[in-house]
Structure 1
Amino acid sequence: MNFRTTIAAAFCCLLPLAAVSQAYPQRPVKIVVPYAPGGGVDVMARMLADRLQQKWGKPVIVENKVGASTIIGAVAVAKAASDGHTLLLTSESTITSNPYLFEKLPYDPIRELLPVSQLVSLPQMVVAHPSVTASTLDELVALAKAKPNELNYASYGSGSLPHLLFEGLKARTGAQMTQVPYKGITPAVSAVLAGEAQLTLAGASLTQGYISAGKLKPIAVARQERLAEFPQVPTLREAGFADIDPHESWFGLFVTGGTSSTIVQKIYRDVAEVGADAVFRERYVLARGLDPVFSSPEEFAKFIQADMRQKARLIRISGAKAE
């Protein structure tokens, strides 16, 4: 009787959780994007919203809340009701960089934003103008030492991935290079193409065509493995610079802290189903040069911890502060 009673009690406890999962969502869901319309994060959010709306039978609305280094959008989700109806789709800046660039944030990226899934990663490549004689990082360091401050690297501001990498390289080797900040990664790449700057770190999807056309020279990949498109280009780890690797850029989905784990898991499962769809994967992920991930909440949380440790280290080395 005791055994039967225990089983019955456990079953009764599970019923409310199942009901919560089945009932979600109960009203329209909002995906907050802390970037302007038309950018990579925004496009991903809109494609995902369209598929989730079909799956859930409820409107899924994308709302762009731009400004203050993604802080405005992050706060909107962090302070929302903990019911899973307000989501955040953002990049690594909001979660693993901002805590170390700002002395104080109006949101806690760990307690107030729960990870649902890392959707995609964006492999980064160290690229140079073809006029740069160096073809490896060691040769680049030697060149920068032989010609102090004659090499410029294009970044998109203090704390951006190019800034963290090249300042880390300077601190590690004593090489001297000068940062030239631009208003975004596309202008930074354009500056290298034009010879205004000689180096940058940019997404493989953005640089691939220029590399194939001989307009940019690949030096290294900020990724765990080499890229299939450029198997001859070593990773930063292989080149002996794993300690200053700022890691790939990524897009991830978050929900307000305190949201039921049952709801978090349901959102994850439905998002993972979208990510596993062959048409969605090919058209909206692979065709845009993104690596599909669609990790579980637990995997994503572990990934974030590792990324935060590396970002904290590189931001400390670079002396980067919020602009």
Structure 2
Amino acid sequence: MKFFKLLAAAVLGVLPLLATAQAFPSRTVKIVVPYAAGGGVDVMARVLAERLQRKWGQPVIVENKTGASTIIGASAVAKAAPDGHTLLLTSESTITSNPFLFDKLPYDPVRDLLPVTQLVSLPQMVIAHPSVAARNLDELVALAKAKPNELSYASYGSGSLPHLLFEALKARSGVQLTAVPYKGITPAVTAVMTGEVQLTLAGVSSAQAYLRAGKLKALAVARSQRLPDQPQVPTLREAGFADIDPHESWFGLFVTGGTPVDVVQTLYRDVAEVAADPAFRGQHVLARGFDPVFSTPEAFGQFIQADRTRKAHLIRISGAKAE
């Protein structure tokens, strides 16, 4: 008799969890994107929303909440009901850079935003105008020392990946480089291609066509391994600059802190099923120059911890502060 009472209690304890999982989603799901429509994060959110809506039979909408270095969008999700119906799709700056660039944030990226999955990685490359007489970073440092203040790099804000890399390079090597601000990665790459500036750090997807055409050249890649289609380009670690490697940019999916674990797992499982579709992966990930990741919530959480440590180090030595 005692056994059946214990069994009944166990079943009753599990039923609420099953009901939560089965009921989710029970209404419209909103994916908040803290960037303007049309960019890489936004496009990924809209494709994912369409696939999840098809799977769930519930509306999935994308809402662009831009401004304040992604803080407005992140805060909206942090303050939403913790039931999984409000998601945040953002890049690393929201989670691992902003905490060290701003003295105070209206959200805690650890407590208020739970990781669901790292969607993709965006490998970064140190690129230069073909006129720069350097084939690698050692030669670039030597050139910068020989011609102080003659080399400039394109950045897209204090704390952006190009800013962190080149300011750290200046601090490490004692070279003089001039930072020139641009409104985003595309104008920054264009500025290098046209010779307005000589250097930047750019996503492979942004620079690949120009590299193939000989309008840009790559000096190093910020990635754990060399790129298959650029095998001659060493990683920053191989080049001896592992201590200032900002690593890749990335997009990830988050949910409001306090959301039940079973809902987080449902979200991860359903996104992973979408990602497993070869058509989705080929057309919307690989064709855009992204590396597919689609990690578990646990693996994503560990990755974020490592990235926070790396960003804290680079932001400290670069002296970057929010603009």
TM bucket by the smaller chain? Answer: over 0.9
Post-superposition CA distance 1:21-64 (Å, at most 9, x none): 01100110000000000000000000000000011110000000
TM-score under structure 1 normalisation? 0.98
How big is the shift at 1:10? 2.6
Matches within 5 A, 1:56-71: 56-71=56-71
1:226 match: 226
Post-superposition CA distance 1:54-104 (Å, at most 9, x none): 111100000000101001100110000011100000000100010011110
User: Any gaps of 5 or more consecutive residues in structure 2?
Assistant: none
1:175 match: 175
> Secondary structure of 2:144's match?
helix
> Which amino acid is 2:227 matched to?
L
Matches within 5 A, 1:19-30: 19-30=19-30
Query: Which segment drifts farther, 3-12 or 56-65?
Result: 3-12
Identity of aligned residues (%): 76
> Which amino acid is 1:228 matched to?
P
Partner Cα distance (1:216, 1:11) in 2: 63
Post-superposition CA distance 1:134-163 (Å, at most 9, x none): 011111111111111111011101111000
Partner Cα distance (1:128, 1:5) in 2: 72
2:238 match: 238
The alignment status of 1:50 with 2:55, answered yes or no, reads: no
Partner Cα distance (1:4, 1:227) in 2: 59
1:317 match: 317
Partner Cα distance (1:286, 1:239) in 2: 27
TM-score under structure 2 normalisation? 0.98
1:157 match: 157
> Which amino acid is 1:93 matched to?
S
1:259 match: 259
1:123 match: 123
> Which amino acid is 2:161 matched to?
L
1:84 match: 84
The alignment status of 1:284 with 2:287, answered yes or no, reads: no
Partner Cα distance (1:14, 1:148) in 2: 67
> Secondary structure of 2:201's match?
strand
How big is the shift at 1:7? 4.2
Number of positions where the alignment pairs a residue of Structure 1 with one of Structure 2: 323
> Secondary structure of 2:145's match?
helix
Partner Cα distance (1:165, 1:14) in 2: 50
User: Any gaps of 5 or more consecutive residues in structure 1?
Assistant: none
Partner Cα distance (1:134, 1:3) in 2: 76
1:308 match: 308
Matches within 5 A, 1:65-214: 65-214=65-214
The alignment status of 1:248 with 2:248, answered yes or no, reads: yes
Question: CA 1:244–1:3 in structure 2 vs 1: closer, same or farther (change >3 Å)?
Answer: farther
How big is the shift at 1:258? 0.4
> Which amino acid is 2:253 matched to?
L
How big is the shift at 1:247? 1.1
> Which amino acid is 2:138 matched to?
D
> Secondary structure of 2:100's match?
helix
Post-superposition CA distance 1:279-304 (Å, at most 9, x none): 11011111111111000100000000
How big is the shift at 1:11? 3.0
How big is the shift at 1:9? 2.9
> Which amino acid is 2:266 matched to?
K
Partner Cα distance (1:7, 1:89) in 2: 41
